[in-house]
Amino acid sequence: MDNPPQITPHEALELLKEGNRRFLSDAPYNPPMDRLHRLHLAAAQRPFAAYLSCSDSRVPPELLFERGLGELFIVRNAGNTLCATALGSLEFAVTQLQVPLIVVMGHEACGAIRAAVSVARGETAYTGNVSKVLQSLLPAVLEADPWAEDLCNAAALCNVRKVVKELREEASPALLEPQASGKLLVVGAYYHLDSGRVEFLD
């Protein structure tokens, strides 16, 4: 079976928005996961969006947007940081899978951001690889004001905007050229844990 024609970036974004609206309605959702569908996907994948999201167990993109197997190319790490692995994975999604949309999504009450806030305030010190992860989040914490009352959520939003800006303006030609030609869209998003709503920032 041939792959379906690739959709436009804005059509891909609308699919995500519609999926989150269904998620908020609490209606049952049963994506196709039967054997025939799995066999079809085994031959090739054609996701319509790539996602850079936090590893937090409460923030699974497939569920928040009611998408099934083979639809989203997910890159997850603590604090949705743009490390070399994440950036390379997104470039792979664009160059090899021709995804038309990249979404960078942060969320409320992010544990990684909270830990980075604690470091910025001199309250806690972390060692090893945890420290490396938090170092990449500190610029967003400092930009949001390390003594702000709701600093965790403010810094999470700053971090999303910082990563989106880097992907839009400072990334490699593999990402900049398809954006310039209109084949790729990069947007930010923010997940509200209490309501289940995903707020798109653009």
> Hey, where are the domains in the chain?
9-200
76-126 residue pLDDT tens = 999 999 999 999 999 999 999 999 999 999 999 999 999 999 898 888 888
Per-residue confidence of the chain (202 residues) as pLDDT tens digits? 334 457 999 999 999 999 999 999 988 888 777 787 677 767 778 999 999 999 999 999 999 999 998 999 999 999 999 999 999 999 999 999 999 999 999 999 999 999 999 898 888 888 889 998 999 999 999 888 767 778 999 999 999 999 999 999 999 999 999 999 999 999 999 999 999 999 999 7
Q: How far is CA 34 from CA 15, 39, 48, 196, 198, in A?
A: 22, 9, 20, 27, 28
Annotation: CATH topology of 9-200? Beta-carbonic Anhydrase; Chain A (3.40.1050)
96-110 residue pLDDT tens = 999 999 999 999 999
Q: What burial letters (b/e) apply to 156-188, b meaning 16+ CB within 10 Å?
A: bbbbbbbbbeebbeebeebbbebbeeeebbbbb
Greatest alpha-carbon pair distance for the chain in Å reads 57
Structural Rg of the chain based on CA atoms: 17
Tokens describing residue 182 = 């209109």
What single letter denotes the amino acid at residue 88?
G
Nearest-angstrom CA–CA distance, 61 and 50: 10
Nearest-angstrom CA–CA distance, 186 and 150: 27
